[in-house]
Structure 1
Amino acid sequence: MARVSQEHLDARRSQILDGAARCFARNGFHATSMQDVLQEVGLSAGAVYRYFRGKDEIIVAIATDVMRTVFEGYETAAALDPAPLPADLIGTVMRRVLDTDTHAHLVIQVWTETLRNQELSDVLRSTFVEMRTLWVKIVERYQEQGLMRDDIPAEHVARTMIALAQGFVAQVALFGEAPIEEIENGLRALTSMGKGS
């Protein structure tokens, strides 16, 4: 019997997660059954359960993938020299995170699901710590380059930048699509205070 390639296994896993994400974005985690997921992806129960033991495991996998996308976006941008300005940095990452209409809805659901799912809470907390650490490094670079005042702890600015990005995702999920240019322009205005017109 021929062995299945890793590419095939990865593609099948992605197929399951993409289908489940569409179901969850439409109906929420709790109103979506495993039967709904099976119908959406067009696979047998055996094929899906080969990858995931159940719905909670799928939810954790989707959340991990979305959070990883966010982190990698910031990590890539942070490696640039000089680091992109906050408006450009957050705009670039928002374009990656909001590349599908399911992501914003999933992010909100993941946040609420962490209140009852300890594994998911642990994943989110770990990702947040990584993200905050990365943002602290970015802010410190801004401070070293004289682009941002250095009398405010970088940790405080990092938390604020993360909160700003999270708030924008929440607005998109709750109130509908918003042009990413709006958050970019808003950040440009905020970071130019005191510089005049």
Structure 2
Amino acid sequence: MPRLSEATSRSRREQIAAAAMRCFARYGFTNTSMADIIKESGLSNGAIYSHFANKSELVRFTATSLLESRTRRFAEDITAAQAELTPGQVFARIVTDLVDRTQAKILIQIWAEVPRDDELAAVARHNLDRLHRLLVTALLPWARAQLRGANENKIADRTADAILAAIQGYVVRLSIDPEVDPTTLAEGIADALG
């Protein structure tokens, strides 16, 4: 059997991960079997297992893909922004474009697995640290305008922590409260952050 090119292999892994995410959102990590993912993907057992040795490996790849793509999109967004962004505006940019109810359910499951999976914990920590640095970068112009002094890095750092906590709360609320309107919730949190 001919080997797949690197681009084709990456595309196939992403196809499998997308099928896995749909299953994880529908059934949860624990209740999703490899058979469910195989059926959802429409691929053969061999096609799946040639890319992922087991469900744990697939979960880590899916988590990495989800977290890194969200962080990358936010990095692109803040790089493109030419204006000083308030904490509320920074929060709104992250959650409005990057987190929907399905992704929230998957993120909650990823966070639940972190204490039991050292590799997944490393992925989560790396992405959390990267997002924190991006938040600080996005907030520094606002902090400079507010303080005009030596504490601007400290206030940007603390505000980034507050935004991260607000994002995590938003994700939890979206995943457990089917009645909450995501837009209204995001707007309320953004208003509170200022």
- TM bracket (short chain): 0.7 to 0.9
CA gap 1:88/1:147 in 2 versus in 1, 3 angstroms: farther
Matched, 1:27 2:27: yes
The answer for the alignment partner of 1:62 in structure 2 is 62
Match of 1:166 among 165, 168, 193: 168
The answer for the alignment partner of 1:136 in structure 2 is 136
In 2, the alpha carbon distance for the partners of 1:40 and 1:147 equals: 53
CA gap 1:130/1:95 in 2 versus in 1, 3 angstroms: same
In 2, the alpha carbon distance for the partners of 1:93 and 1:118 equals: 27
SS of 2:137's equivalent in the other structure is: helix
Which amino acid counterpart does residue 176 of structure 2 have in structure 1?
Answer: L
The answer for the alignment partner of 1:155 in structure 2 is 157
Matched, 1:112 2:112: yes
After TM superposition, give the deviation of residue 121 of structure 1 in Å: 0.6
CA deviations 1:142-181 (Å, max 9, x no partner) are 1113389957632211111111011111111110252324
SS of 1:84's equivalent in the other structure is: coil
The answer for the alignment partner of 1:184 in structure 2 is 187
C-alpha contact (below 8 Å) 1:23/1:36 kept by paired residues: yes
C-alpha contact (below 8 Å) 2:28/2:109 kept by paired residues: yes
CA deviations 1:73-120 (Å, max 9, x no partner) are 331232222243333332232233334x42111000000000111100
After TM superposition, give the deviation of residue 5 of structure 1 in Å: 4.5
C-alpha contact (below 8 Å) 1:87/1:183 kept by paired residues: no
C-alpha RMSD of the superposition: 2.5
The answer for the alignment partner of 1:102 in structure 2 is 102
Structure with bigger RCO (C-alpha 8 Å, 6+ apart): 2
Moved more, 66-75 or 104-113: 66-75
The answer for the alignment partner of 2:93 in structure 1 is 92
In 2, the alpha carbon distance for the partners of 1:88 and 1:58 equals: 34
C-alpha contact (below 8 Å) 1:28/1:109 kept by paired residues: yes
C-alpha contact (below 8 Å) 2:114/2:120 kept by paired residues: yes
- Could you tell me which runs of 5 or more consecutive residues in structure 2 were left unpaired when the two chains were aligned: none
CA gap 1:93/1:69 in 2 versus in 1, 3 angstroms: farther
CA deviations 1:4-24 (Å, max 9, x no partner) are 444433332221011111111
After TM superposition, give the deviation of residue 2 of structure 1 in Å: 6.9
Which amino acid counterpart does residue 85 of structure 1 have in structure 2?
Answer: T
The answer for the alignment partner of 1:47 in structure 2 is 47
C-alpha contact (below 8 Å) 1:136/1:158 kept by paired residues: yes
Identity, in percent, stands at: 30
C-alpha contact (below 8 Å) 1:132/1:162 kept by paired residues: yes
Which amino acid counterpart does residue 120 of structure 2 have in structure 1?
Answer: L
CA deviations 1:110-144 (Å, max 9, x no partner) are 00000111100111011111111221222222111
Moved more, 161-170 or 127-136: 127-136
C-alpha contact (below 8 Å) 2:105/2:175 kept by paired residues: yes
Which amino acid counterpart does residue 38 of structure 2 have in structure 1?
Answer: L
SS of 1:164's equivalent in the other structure is: helix
Which amino acid counterpart does residue 86 of structure 2 have in structure 1?
Answer: L
Moved more, 73-82 or 63-72: 73-82
Name whichever structure is richer in helix by fraction: 2
Count of aligned pairs: 190
CA gap 1:35/1:186 in 2 versus in 1, 3 angstroms: closer
